[in-house]
Every structure is written in C-alpha cells, then in structure tokens.
Copies of this chain bind each other. A is one copy, B any other.
Amino acid sequence: MDDDRLSALELRLARVEDELAITRLIGSYGPLVDAADADAVAALWAEDGSYDVEGWEMRSRADVRAMVLSPQHQGLVDAGCTHFLGPVVVTVTGDQAVAVCESVLVVHHEKRFHVVRSGANRFDLVRNPAGWEILHRTTRALDGSPEARALLTAVAR
C-alpha cells in the first residue's frame, strides 16, 4: 500500500520536475542570447539539434553557436536587444516533450526601444543523459502567416 503511494508520488513529482526543467531551459534562452554567451546558448540544444528561424536554418549546436557569434547577432547585442519570451506551455510524453511560447524582440536604437518582431515558437525536446535538450526549434513571425499560427496549436490541453 505505502509502496504504491510512494511510487505514485515519485511519478507525479518527476512529471513536475520535467515540466520545470524544460520551462527553465527555454526561459534561459533570452538572457543567454542577449548576453551573447554563445557556448551556453548552444548547450541548450542537443548536439544534432536544429533551429529554424525564418530563412536561417541551423542544424547543430555548432550552428547555433555560430549564429550567436555572427555579425548580425553581435550587432543586435551591441545595440541592446531583448529576446523576451512569454509563458511556456509544456507537454511531456516520456523522454520527449513539446513546448510552445510566443516571443517579442525589443531592440534599442538611438536611445529608444522598439518592438521589431513578435513570434510563435515551437520546441521539440528530448531527454538525453545530460538532461532535457532542444531537438528542434521553429520560430516564425506573427505577421498573419498561417505557418506561424500552426506552430501555436501544439498547445494541447
């Protein structure tokens, strides 16, 4: 009896811990990418993880690292940028998970702050020996395109 109760608790707590770990992983993206910490950003992805953001297709941790170090991203960081993520909705299924959130990019320019993009994000994650990692992330601007909207419907109740 007590053993069953213990096992049930362990299972439920593990689910909570998974959800929080993934929330934390994704929540780290904004601060790390805005600090231009290329290694730490890359480490959020699996070794062969990918990131597809409107015409920029990264296919490995090394590609993600190169994006952070790119002149485009460094230009944003030097100006002052905020990759602001909204609440993450996580669905865990065993060692895989899907997470969805919206995001807003704010960029500083000539002493003012501008919202330059608003986006839909879908993350597919996997539990590896080192913990949860991003296997694939897709980001699309919320500019009325059906493709962006389709990413958001991975929020299942």
Q: Residues on A close to B: CB < 8 A?
A: 2-3, 5-6, 9-10, 12-13, 16-17, 19-20, 23-28, 30-32, 34-37, 40, 43-44, 77-90, 100-102, 104, 106, 108, 111, 113-120, 141-145, 148-150, 152-153, 155, 157
CB distance from A62 to the nearest CB of B (A): 18
User: Which of B9, B82, B100 touches A118 (beta carbons < 8 Å)?
Assistant: B82
Q: Which residue of B43, B87, B117 contacts A23 across the interface (Cβ within 8 Å)?
A: B87
| Pairwise interchain contact A144-B5, C-beta atoms closer than 8 A | no
**Copies per assembly:** 3
User: Complex: how many Å from CA A84 to CA B30?
Assistant: 15
Q: Is the CB of A31 within 8 A of B118?
A: no
Residues of B with C-beta under 8 A to A19: 20
Inter-chain CA distance A153–B15, complex, in Å, is 28
Q: A6-B6, A13-B13 are in contact. List 13 more A-B contacts (CB 8 A).
A: A6-B9, A28-B157, A32-B155, A34-B152, A78-B144, A80-B118, A80-B143, A80-B145, A85-B87, A106-B118, A108-B144, A111-B143, A114-B115
